[in-house]
């Protein structure tokens, strides 16, 4: 009797689990297209987690059924040995019942094994769907959805722990003209090549994404100001120096960049707007360069990197703090040092 209850309970659990899974997936599948987005991605993740839990449960059930089957087999052997010296109807009845239980047990084990295989397949399918939903099919980079999810998480971390995060927006210069001149197939190849250059240029911890069209976005975790500028400048130079070809044509490709580092009280949308403003400033200034947004306006990266290097050298020599001391120095040099000192203080205040 205990064995029958054991099998019935396991079968009921499995049926309820599959019913719950079917109901959850059914709700997700019937969602309106307009409801797609972050909520839908969350449902996919939850469905995947549910499948994994069910697979683990099924595996545990299979192990228990196997152990139960072995115990029944041992009992059956003992009864068969008893039968040799006992021809009573009760003994035959017990043996018949045990045999029926063993057959039911084997059927349940087969069902559990089949269910486990189905769950593994469904888990793999959901994992594949989730990957496709977060990946740009042309370049293989993460897409806008992945960017939004990761940036929200990074901004939340910045607000809680003051962990710096920066965003770099990069746009291929004159991409429409490239498409018009060489065709869309050439444009697609250039997009893939630029994606490869960016992946090779940025760190493994950085999230490189295709933001849309010919625009790319990169999240730089634990990175602020100068380090973010340097990363943007490095990527711009890497694309400038790369060799792009299509059929027999060598195509000159450059990109423009906009950089912004998260500031206090800022949300993901605010950070992206500042990076976008910096990108437009780099386009307006002639392209093939980078600008960063300091919270008030967009400023050329190269100019400020050069100025900071000069400032550091001046500070290390002591000339900014002490002013010109050598005899015969001109008033113009005095004024230049004062201007440099003022500029250094301004840059330092922007960092804080």
Kindly state the tokens that stand for 29: 């599948």
Which residue carries 């010109």 as its tokens? 324
Angle, vertex CA 349, rays to CA 344 and CA 352, nearest 5: 135
Angle, vertex CA 158, rays to CA 152 and CA 164, nearest 5: 110
Kindly state the tokens that stand for 302: 């190269």
Nearest-angstrom CA–CA distance, 280 and 137: 27
Catalytic annotation, pick one of 35, 80, 214, 309? 214
Contacts of 61 (CB under 8 A, 6+ apart): 10, 13, 14, 112
The span from the first CA to the last CA of the chain, in angstroms, equals 75
Neighbours of 247 (CB within 10 A): 9
Helix (H/G/I), strand (E/B), else coil: 291: strand
Is 316 part of the annotated catalytic residue set?
no
Q: Which residues are catalytic?
A: 214
């Amino acid at each position: 009797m205990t064995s029958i209850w054991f099998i019935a309970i396991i079968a009921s659990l499995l049926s309820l689990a599959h019913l719950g899974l079917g109901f959850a997936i059914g709700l997700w599948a019937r969602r309106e297209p307009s409801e797609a987005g972050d909520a839908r991605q969350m449902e996919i993740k939850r469905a995947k987690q549910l499948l994994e839990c069910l697979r683990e449960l099924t595996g545990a059930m299979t192990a228990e059924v196997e152990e139960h089957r072995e115990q029944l087999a041992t009992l059956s052997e003992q009864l068969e040995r008893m039968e040799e010296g006992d021809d009573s109807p009760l003994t035959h009845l017990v043996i018949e019942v045990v045999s029926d239980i063993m057959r039911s047990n084997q059927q349940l084990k087969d069902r559990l094994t089949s269910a486990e295989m189905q769950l593994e397949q469904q888990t793999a399918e959901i994992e594949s769907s989730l990957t496709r939903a977060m990946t740009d099919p042309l370049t293989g980079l993460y897409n806008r959805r992945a960017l939004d999810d990761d940036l929200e998480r990074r901004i939340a971390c910045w607000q809680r722990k003051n962990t710096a995060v920066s965003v770099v927006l990069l746009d291929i210069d004159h991409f429409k003209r490239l498409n018009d001149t060489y065709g869309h197939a050439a444009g697609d190849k250039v997009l893939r090549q630029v994606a490869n250059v960016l992946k090779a240029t940025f760190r493994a911890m950085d999230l490189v994404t295709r933001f849309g069209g010919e625009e790319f976005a990169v999240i730089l975790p634990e990175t602020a100001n100068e380090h973010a500028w340097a990363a943007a400048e490095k990527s711009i130079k890497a694309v400038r120096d790369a060799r792009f070809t299509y059929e027999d044509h060598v195509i000159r490709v450059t990109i423009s960049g906009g950089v912004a580092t998260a500031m206090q009280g800022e949300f993901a949308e605010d950070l992206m707007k500042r990076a976008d403003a910096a990108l437009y400033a780099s386009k307006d200034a002639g392209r093939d360069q980078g600008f960063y947004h300091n919270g008030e306006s967009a400023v050329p990266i190269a100019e400020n990197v050069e100025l900071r290097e000069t400032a550091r050298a001046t500070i290390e020599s002591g000339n900014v703090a002490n002013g010109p001391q050598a005899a015969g120095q001109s008033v113009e040099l005095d004024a230049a040092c004062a201007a440099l000192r003022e500029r250094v203080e301004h840059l330092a205040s922007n960092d804080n």
